[in-house]
Amino acid sequence: MIDTLSYTLISIGLVFWFWGTWPLLGDRSVLFKLHSLSVSDTLGSMSIVVGLLLKIPREWPLLVLALISLAIWNTVLGYVLAYCSTRGGEDA
């Protein structure tokens, strides 16, 4: 039961990864790509880590640390990249 749940979460995470990374190949603006990437990459990665957490609950301190740093860093990095690329960049 738990095994199925964790595989389901990992598969959902992989789908999110492809969904968010695919727009990178297109010819859209940086901000469009940044939005899709930061939203679905973070959600997909968090779902994969939760799936791993269900698989091996013994390593929870490490995996919770990974979850926290994903949640905080990817949102902050999204803001910083957007801020830096729109001011002074040549392709705002």
**5 scored as a contact of other proteins (CB under 8 A):** no
Identity of residue 28: R
**4 scored as a contact of other proteins (CB under 8 A):** no
* DSSP string over the chain: -HHHHHHHHHHHHHHHHHHHHGGGGSS--HHHHHHHHHHHHHHHHHHHHHHHHHH-GGGHHHHHHHHHHHHHHHHHHHHHHHHHHHSS-TT-
**9 scored as a contact of other proteins (CB under 8 A):** no
**25 scored as a contact of other proteins (CB under 8 A):** yes
Phi first, then psi, for residue 27 (nearest 5°) are: -105, 30
Q: Cβ of residue 2: shortest distance to other proteins, in angstroms?
A: 14
Using the rule CB under 8 A, which residue among 1, 2, 4, 91 binds other proteins?
A: 91
Site string for other proteins, 28-57 (x = CB under 8 A): --x--xx--x---xx--x--xx--x--xx-
Return the number of the residue (5 or 24) whose C-beta is nearest other proteins: 24
